[in-house]
Amino acid sequence: MTAHAWTLAFAFLILGPLLGALLAGLDRILTARMQSRRGPPLLQPIYDVLKLFEKDTLVVTSLQTLYLWGFLLFMAISGFILFLGGDLLLSLFALAVSGILLCLAAYATNSPYSNIGSSRELMLMMAYEPMLLIVPLGFFLVTGSFRVSDIIAGEPWQVLELGGILIGFLFILTIKLRKSPFDLSSSHHGHQELVKGLTTDFSGSDLALVEIGHWYENVILLGWLYLFFAPLGVAWALPISLILFFGEVLVDNTHARLKWAPTLRLSWWVTGLFGVTNLVLLSLFA
């Protein structure tokens, strides 16, 4: 581990949420512009979270706060490993654990809305985890290593070899970012049928923890996307991954929500068609 890697990893811990908040703010402005509205200020997500800390926190069960801290902790660990240039698989597993802890937190509160939200979230995890697992495998077949630092040092044309996996990853990115048509676990807008699903029973600082976790998640997912283009150098990789990242906003605004069964079917089809095929081709010819 070089000093540079450690700086990057600690920078993620401290500046990660800030960057994630800016991404979320930009997302909200873009969404508003697509609906020909002006939209909120760029720093709105930060105002929201600071406000949540001013509010009272209604505690349904003291377990919820514990689970939420766990969610945040594992999210941070996942990102820390990623930005340290460590093992991509470890980062992936930490991400999965943090997702499960969020579901547990929602299950712990007894509201039927959060229960439905978390069972839908578990269903979504089943939809995206296979594809998410294929991504490190693909990197391994191309670069011969699971380490992020080796992947970054790979060949510039690795993204071409991983074309199918990139398409599959972009597909599940929509699920991970909880965008339409796959926002069924948290219903993007609070006034819809699920009244926010997962987070229905969280208020005040608990809800703020969830938001901060999502900021971390934004940065981690952007980091994963960046990995595909990383060998091209920052000047190319960063703009490309940002454009693809915000492409999700367009998808979000042009699609209605799907039910869980079509979601599962569709994502497994995409996983099989693009992810697995790409993997098989790689192992045959590489």
Partner 1 sequence: MSFITKSPWILHYAATSCNGCDIELLACLTPHYDVERFGIVNTGNPKHADIFLVTGSVNEESRKVVENLYAQMPDPKAVVAIGACALSGGIFRDAYNVYGGIDKVIPVDVYVPGCAARPEAIIDGVVQALAILDERAKERKRQRKMVAA
β-sheet bridge partners, residue 87: 147
Residue 214: CB minimum distance to partner 1, A: 15
Among residues 227, 142, 130, which one has the least CA distance to residue 171?
Answer: 130
**Which one among 191, 243, 261, 286 touches partner 1, defined by CB under 8 A?**
191
Tokens found for residue 54:
């001013």
Contact between 192 and partner 1 (CB under 8 A)? yes
Angstrom distance (rounded) from CA 88 to CA 145: 9
User: What mask of x and - would describe binding to partner 1 in positions 134 to 173, judged by CB under 8 A?
Assistant: ----------------------------------------
| Number of other CB atoms surrounding residue 112 within 10 Å | 9
Quote the least distance from Cβ 195 to partner 1, whole Å: 5
What part of residues 194-223 is at the interface with partner 1 (CB under 8 A)?
195-196, 199-204, 207
Structure tokens at 67: 């689970």
Quick check: 190 binds partner 1 (CB under 8 A)? yes
The least distance separating partner 1 from the CB of residue 270, rounded to whole angstroms, comes to 32
Per CB under 8 A, does 119 bind partner 1?
A: no
Q: Is the dihedral of CA 50, 53, 55, 59 positive or negative?
A: positive
In this structure, which amino acid lies at residue 121?
Answer: E
* Cα separation, 121 vs 169, whole angstroms: 18
Site for partner 1 in 29-68 (CB under 8 A): 32, 35-41, 44, 47-48, 50-51, 54-58
* Count of residues that bind partner 1 according to CB under 8 A: 32
CA distances from 79 to 15, 61, 87 (A): 12, 29, 11
Tokens of 87: 């093992």
In the bound state with partner 1, the residue whose beta carbon lies nearer, of 37 and 265, is 37
Where along the sequence are the contacts to partner 1 (CB under 8 A)?
Answer: 28, 32, 35-41, 44, 47-48, 50-51, 54-58, 189-192, 195-196, 199-204, 207
